[in-house]
């Protein structure tokens, strides 16, 4: 198994490797390659001077330019021609070249096409003592039918001593720079790695919902964003954990109530055979259906979480669908003192056909109505199921005159198991998953949906059928 290193160790190691690479490159360029760089620079210099003088000669007398260049001490210049008024030379070693050497140089320059660089010390023997390495650039130009040769030379000074000095200093430079890299690594580690390590340690507490991001201080935007994300995840975990506990309590209560009714009536019929009548049996059947509905809801949540809900869309008469739902709830609501109304007429909407999964859309409407029943504490309870024409869509809505929903809860009511106003007195129990099921079914249909509400006045849930979701019969 490979040994693993901390981020701090990897950071410092990477900086040291980078520094060594850079220093190594600089060392090679200043020692091994320095001589080559230096010689190429000298050749480039004498070529540029030669071309500059050639251009100046074509325009006017170059004697002042020759003197200026020679006095700089950088290079030597000599101009040679058969015309005496073109001959010129600075106070440099090129003056010592004899006529034979000049003719040899001129021949080589002509053979090379008019210009040539001499860097093989061929002509160094005739120069003054002590000069061991000289570069000469020769160029021949024609002015007024006269051939003129421009010679430019430069002494190449040995740089071995310079290289030795650099090599002696490099040991000290390497030590200083490596120490600086380590210090820089520690500073960067403190700025970035330390808060990241704190976040990593705290992240182990996410599973228990005990992540404490407030104790982590950093000025890095990315780390702040990561910390905020983990804090949000921690809050979501706490909410989910709380929701699970509430779900267990709600489902237990919802299951216990009908089970108690079923067992109680069954035992009563067993002990008192005369109570075996259709009324008591209807109660047992009703409570059994209630249990079945609750189990179906739980199964739907499981399917929705695993994206296994399949829609069976078909053409459905919208008014007929709402009429069926209305007939189912009218008697039920009337027996509980709730005024239930269908706000849609056959004349206006009787020919509207929609392409939906009828069973699933009914399930959405049932949940909206059940929600209205459960949360309506008004003395004069009213529930309205209706249709509105909104632009190019048909809006199906469920309205109640209950206590309404607080604005702070609006975005959360569609979440699984979320319940608002726990002190709210409810006339029916529920698991808190109805609206979550509605949300997923409506999104599966790709329908627009929402809720409007005002505290103490009303709540109105709705969804829209439009653009490909409906068509009107002729």
- CA angle 280/283/288 to nearest 5° reads 130
Q: Which phi and psi angles does 309 have, rounded to 5°? A: -75, 125
Domain membership of residue 2 (yes or no) is no
Residues 27 and 44 in one domain: no
- Tell me if 325 sits within 8 A of 369, measured CB to CB: yes
pLDDT at 129: 44
pLDDT at 463: 95
* End residue of a domain, out of 137, 158, 179: 158
Residue 121's domain is classified under what CATH number? 3.30.450
Residues 21 and 72 in one domain: no
Domain membership of residue 213 (yes or no) is no
Residues 151 and 50 in one domain: yes
pLDDT at 257: 62
Q: What is the DSSP letter of 16?
A: H
The token pair at 120 is 């093989």
pLDDT at 356: 92
Residues 320 and 441 in one domain: yes
Residues 435 and 381 in one domain: yes
Q: Which domain holds residue 233?
A: 221-288
Domain membership of residue 301 (yes or no) is no
Domain membership of residue 208 (yes or no) is no
Residue 439's domain is classified under what CATH number? 3.30.565.10
Residues of the chain below pLDDT 50: 121-131, 421-429, 467, 470-474
Strand residues in 100-226 grouped as ranges (E): 115-118, 134-143, 146-155
Residues 384 and 422 in one domain: yes
Residues 70 and 22 in one domain: no
The token pair at 6 is 């901390």
pLDDT at 426: 39
Domain membership of residue 430 (yes or no) is yes
Residues 85 and 142 in one domain: yes
pLDDT at 63: 66
Residues 397 and 259 in one domain: no
Domain membership of residue 212 (yes or no) is no
Q: Whole-prediction pTM value? A: 0.46
- Tell me if 135 sits within 8 A of 38, measured CB to CB: no
Count of CA atoms in the C-beta half-sphere (13 A) of 340: 22
Domain membership of residue 209 (yes or no) is no
pLDDT at 124: 45
Q: What is the DSSP letter of 3?
A: P
CA distance 356 to 445: 7
CA distance 198 to 60: 77
Residues 148 and 251 in one domain: no
Residues 319 and 458 in one domain: yes
> What pLDDT, in 10s, does the model give residues 21-43?
887 787 777 777 777 788 888 88
Residues 400 and 329 in one domain: yes
pLDDT at 472: 46
Q: How many structural domains comprise the chain?
A: 4
- Tell me if 29 sits within 8 A of 55, measured CB to CB: no
Domain membership of residue 210 (yes or no) is no
Q: Residues 6 or more apart from 33 whose CB is under 8 A from it?
A: none
Residue 263's domain is classified under what CATH number? 1.10.287
């Amino acid at each position: 198994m490979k040994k693993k290193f901390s981020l701090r160790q990897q950071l410092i190691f990477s900086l040291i490797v980078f520094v060594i690479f850079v220093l190594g490159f600089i060392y090679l360029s200043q020692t091994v390659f320095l001589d080559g760089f230096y010689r190429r620079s000298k050749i480039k210099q004498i070529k540029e001077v030669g071309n500059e003088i050639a251009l100046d000669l074509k325009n006017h007398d170059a004697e002042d330019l020759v003197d200026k260049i020679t006095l700089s001490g950088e290079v030597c210049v000599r101009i040679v021609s058969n015309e005496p008024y073109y001959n010129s030379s600075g106070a440099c070693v090129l003056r010592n070249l004899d006529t034979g050497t000049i003719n040899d140089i001129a021949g080589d320059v002509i053979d090379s096409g008019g210009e040539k660089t001499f860097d093989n010390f061929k002509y160094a023997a005739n120069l003054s003592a002590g000069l061991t390495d000289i570069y000469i650039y020769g160029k021949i130009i024609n002015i007024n039918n006269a051939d003129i040769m421009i010679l430019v030379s430069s002494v190449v000074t040995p740089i071995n001593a310079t290289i030795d000095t650099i090599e002696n200093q490099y040991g000290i430079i390497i030590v200083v720079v490596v120490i600086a890299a380590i210090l820089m690594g520690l500073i960067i580690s403190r700025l970035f790695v330390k808060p990241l390590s704190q976040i990593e340690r705290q992240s182990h507490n996410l599973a228990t919902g005990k992540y404490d991001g407030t104790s982590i201080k950093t000025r890095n935007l990315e780390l702040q964003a990561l910390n905020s994300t983990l804090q949000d995840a921690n809050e979501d975990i706490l909410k989910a954990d709380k929701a699970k506990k509430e779900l267990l309590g709600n489902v237990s209560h919802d299951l216990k109530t009908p089970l108690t009714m079923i067992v109680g009536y069954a035992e009563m019929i067993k002990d008192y055979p005369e109570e075996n009548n259709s009324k008591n049996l209807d109660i047992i059947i009703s409570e059994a259906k209630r249990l079945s509905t609750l189990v179906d809801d739980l199964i739907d949540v499981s399917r929705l979480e695993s994206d296994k809900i399949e829609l069976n869309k078909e053409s459905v008469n919208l008014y007929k669908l709402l009429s069926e739902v209305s007939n189912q709830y009218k008697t039920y609501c009337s027996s509980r003192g709730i005024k239930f109304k269908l706000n849609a007429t056959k004349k206006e909407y009787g020919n509207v056909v929609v392409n939906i999964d009828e069973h699933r859309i009914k399930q959405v409407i049932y949940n909206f109505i059940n929600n209205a029943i459960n949360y309506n504490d008004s003395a004069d309870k009213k529930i309205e199921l209706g249709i509105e024409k909104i632009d190019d869509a048909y809006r199906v809505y469920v309205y109640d005159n209950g206590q309404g929903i607080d604005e702070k809860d609006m975005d959360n009511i569609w979440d699984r198991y979320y319940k608002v106003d726990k002190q709210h007195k409810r006339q029916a129990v529920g698991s808190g998953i109805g609206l979550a099921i509605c949300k997923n079914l409506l999104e599966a249909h790709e329908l627009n949906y929402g809720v409007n509400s005002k505290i103490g006045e009303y709540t109105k849930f709705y969804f829209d059928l439009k653009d490909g979701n409906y068509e009107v019969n002729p």
